[in-house]
Chain A
Amino acid sequence: MIRRQERLAGVWRCSLRLRQPSLRLLIIALIVELVLPFIGASVFVTTRLADAERANDGSRQLGIARAFSSEIDRQLLNAEAALKALATSPESPDGDLEAFYRQSAAVADQHGARIVLADATGRQIFNTTRPFGTPLAQLNEGELARRAMSMQKTQISDLFRGSTTDDYLVGVFVPVIADGPSRLVLIMAFRPERLSSFFAEQHVPDEWTVAIADRAGTLIGRSHALDRFLGKPATGDLKAAMAAATEGLATLHTNDGTEVYTAFTRTVLSGWTVAFGIPRAVVDAPLRQSLVEIGVAGGLVIILCGSIALLTARRISRSMKALSTAALALGNGEQLSQLTPSIKEMDEVIASMRNAADRLARRSAQRDRAEAALRESEQRFRDIAEVGSEWIWETDADHRFTFFAGATVEGLTPLGPRPKDILGKTHWELVGADPETDEQWRRCKAEFDAHRAFRRLQYSAITRSDRRHYFSVGGNPIFDENGEFKGYRGTSTDETETVEALQRAEFAEALLRDAVDSISEGFVIYDRDDRLVMFNEVYRRLFLQSIEGIPVGTTYEEILRANVRAGQHVLAPAEEAGWIAQKLKEHHEADGAVEHQLGDGRWVLITDRRMRNGGIAGLRVDITALKAVQAELRASREHLARAQRVAATGSFELDLRTQRIEWSDETYRIFGVTRDVDPLDQSKLEQMVVPEDREQFRDQIAACVEGQQQTVMEYRIRRPDGHIRVLYRDVEVMRDNAGEPCKLIGVVKDVTELREAERRRDELERELMHSQKLEALGTLAGGVAHDLNNTLLPILALSKLALDELPQGNPVREDIEVIVRASEHARDVVKQILAFSRKQALVKREVDLVTVTREALRMLRAGLPAMIQIIEQMTPVPAVWRRR
């Protein structure tokens, strides 16, 4: 990734360099631009010359090819002529054939060829390469021989193999014309190397290549290496060129692959093609040489010119750098250093710059002074604005701040205190408001949009510190010289503290007024001059109701007189002045409380107090109800006293701190003392308590004070008249705010009779319980007696029945008689038990104690063992009363 970035950076630098080329590069480019066309033109001209030369060479080459072609035609014509002469010789074929053979052999030797006589079937009649009469093979080129005979015209063969010698040959076929149609044909055949010997004779250079191709495109002659290429087909591009034209120029390839500029032409007689090629390398060598030389020369020229240009460019560059330094110094308002430019024009430029620098320095100094004055002025404004809790600002036509300065903007805006956050924003954007939805800001924006001067435009906003700030804005519109609105310039003031102070003052005043109004009593404030400052509704109803429109500022005396006139105070005319003087005196003394009855019967408690500022604060309490309550209280106390008397219950209060004690009248009565004659106190009280109860009496008080629940007790006192009375006391401890006991409140009730009644009731209850026990015992005894009687019945009855039936003298009778006696005894005992348990009404009657005692002894006897003897010794006593 990093390499890629470096590569990109390199490309970017290169691109930058090309986009902003240096002077040196430009000069070099200029030189190159000047030299390169010359070099290009040289190359072009050289190439064109080479092409023209090549065209000339081609023409010459084609001429040479034609010359070679003509030579071949000449050789063939020679052969045709020789054959035609032979045919017409005296030793014609129709005559002495052997002589004709010999003549033919002589001609053949002369031409270095062989001659064959053949007939129309292609049969060889003789062949000079064989003795006459030697049987010969059929001609390989029989068809050509027949064509020559049929057309009566000489035919030239392509390369063929001889049927007799089996070597490559070319031949000229001449029909033997006699009287009638030709029947024989004379053929001169020779080896194709003979055609090429001409090239050696012409000293064809080794690098040139001359080739002969027959009509079939087979090579039959070549200036070099014929033995290697004889009988081989010509190259494809040569065949194509031969097929396309009878002669021409082309760039072809030889059989050995050499590229050659070739001129080719077709021979007239045989239709063979002669191609003459010169290797391209040989032909183009001079041109290449010329181009290399031009290139080298051009390169050298470029290097030379580039070097010169570099030197020149460096010189110009140095001058430019000096110029640049001078311009920079000029721009910075510095003094131009001594420069040594090496170019005349640069020197002039520097001189001009020096002149300009002097002017700029002067103007710069003027501007610096102006800027310093401006900064000072601006700082002055800022200082004033900061000290004055104001901001100075400017806005553009869209009401966006373009300038903002002044007091700290801490807390001004939700955007924070940085001025850069403020620039570009509108008033409402500063506080995060939207004029579309905020009525306050809709009105402000409408004011701004009117492009009028505005003053004390107020708005509020909640800052980041969650505090609502109040701002007052004033601004003047700014118009350009065309009268177009450019924005506003104005100031903003944070009036939060003022507004808050005002709000606090209003709140405090409202609070005070609420407090004064909420006082249930009349409240009034007079200033030091006795003038009415403030009063509440209750005061108005009490003292001002009869006076219409009492204004604040009216004096107390005026109010008094107005009330007197209105009948608020019923006074005789003679005492009016004195009364007013007395009231003014009381008012001015402003000390204590005075009860005052109004004309309508109401009672008012007037309390005036002097305030620190010399004024008087007055409280007017309507105590009419209090007075009534006091009366009710008195009545209630009397009622309570009566109730205590009826209930025989007294009350007392003991102040635990002062040990002061208060008794009610009924308490005095209970204790048998009189309040006026012998007032009670705690020690006297304790002395009246009987000694046995005195300690408990004291302990109970202490226990109550300590918070124990023992609040109720009874104790006995001895009244001064000597009577012992039982008293019931119930106390309750009152505690102060700290929880400490401070007072003991109690009731005292004389319960002497009650306790006596209770004692008697208890006694009766005990008796009743005893009686119930006896009744239960009687019921039990009755039940037992019932069962015993049932049991005794069969014993007694059947025993007696048995006795009746037993004869006298029967020993069993005595036994049964014992049973009968025992049964009767048991019956008696049961009877006594029944008598004991029998319930009878408790009535008192006289009884004889002796009789009763005897009955008791009888009953006792029944329950005692027989070993115990009871001895009765009773003397008659008077009858007594007892309950039955």
Chain B
Amino acid sequence: MKRAWLVLLLIGDAPGTPAEEIDFPNDVLPRLTRLGCNSGGCHGSATGQNGFKLSLLGYDAARDHEAITRELRGRRIDLAEPGKSLLLRKPTRELKHRGGKVLEPGSDSYRVVLDWLQAGAPYRSSRPVDLVRISAVPGQVTAHYSDGSTRDVTALALTSSNDDAIADADGVVKAPGETAIMVRYGGQVTAVAAGRPYGPRIEVHDRRNFVDDFVNEKLSRFGLPPLGPCDDAAFLRRATLDALGILPSPAEVRAFSGDRDGLVDALLSRPEFAEHWSSLWTKSWPIRGPEFQAWLRSRWAEPYDETVRTLLTREAHLYKAVGDPKLLAEFVGQQLLGARWMCAQCHNHPFERFTQKDYMAMAAFFARVRVRDGRVDLEPRGELELHGKPVLPPFGSSADRREDLARWVVEEDAFGRAAANRVWAALMGRGLVEPVDDLRASNPPTHPDLLEALARSFRKDSSIKGLVAVVMKSEAYGRRSGRGDPFYAERRVKPLEGDVLTRAVSTAAGAALPPDAVLAGETLSRTLHLMNSAEIDGLLAADTVENLYLRTLSRLPTAAERAHWTGSGDEYLKDLFWALLNSKEFGTNH
């Protein structure tokens, strides 16, 4: 089946079109795209190549037609002698072409371009139709037109795999697993799943809540048996780190009864939950400073949609940090809706249907916002411009346009999906969509129905805490750790973030480790700091082997470990403390 696609790509082609029906958007442009003429590295780059610029992957057919037929006073084409056109002589390398030979004289694409030139290089044919959408199944891409007709465009579509190790762009599956193949044609985009199971279908029954229904369905289908639940101490450590960003105390380890749901509820009602999650949630936000953090912490128990509306319309935090309307729009897209609108600042997004004009229209919501003396003022007038024309917001009529935007944002489906995806990523170590802020049709979730279900549950009360609780109470969250596959058969091991690591060392030592920027990322500098710094060395103090394990790894030593650590004396125990602080078990959430 997958092979079939490859074969189709090589030999298949759109059915022959009579010359008088060849038009630019539907026949010529897709071929230029397929040949790579308008890719980012060639004439599609923001500055073009050698003075010849095309829109990236052909999103602007009218301008491309203009560039080819009119620029340089039409020198790129020769309607008297079509075969002598630069448009054909350059890519066939008859004339010098830095992009090399990309077009074979006499090939199908060559003939279509030649026929089109012979017909007078029209923009539209005598019977114009518009591309409405594309659909794809493995092996076939179909274009759907405004007159109801369809065309097999498999040979002309561009495909690329989100994970080459599992399936290549042609859909040829190379390894067990699943990935998405992005399909693009004529400015439209879609994605198809490609992959194969690890083994025959199995039954997976372990279920604690609805999350597991979706996870189990996929595990069953892909024949991937999950690991069993982790032990209680591991769960306590994992849950405390995830919910509060701190280690459980030795007393908590000794006292834990094994009631996991009860533990989750207790953790989420502690004040450290708001502290840790408001900081984690905004790590990639452009708003900094203790004032904002304190405000967000105080609101963490409120519904998230209300908090976002307040942030956008009644508070100055955001506007003090970000002044440019375009950057404000990007913030809304990326941080609140999980959409990378910024790509559209320079070009229409090649993977998405969000245009440069859409981008400016979103920015227009902020066109009249000014910050004076730390307060937000609204100007009575003023518009953003694109190509010399004013751009208005796409909807709304409120005096304060931000009200319209805020209302729309929190009601968007993407708002709930983005929040659910972020919660999932923070707890499970990997988003259902990766990267977490790049939700789009061509980058589908690994578990689409699960993401929908989480977003649905979030929509009821707009509670981030509620989402956290649902995920933490699932069977999938509580499994033993392992490689951390995208099917959640095993728990993914996560390195501790810099601030969590600093707190963990402090808790283990019973004294504060000064924060240090080198602890922030996984680098050689972090390793050296934990190993050698005077700060760490000053915290080391002897204690019993049992206590040292409880303080650092949040568990009792096993019989084998007790039998191994037979030494004694101050120095020996301090060195063991050092070894535990530098161990992989301490440095990770597992």
Question: Does B bind A?
Answer: no
Which residues of B come within 8 Å of A, CB atoms? none
Which residues of A come within 8 Å of B, CB atoms? none
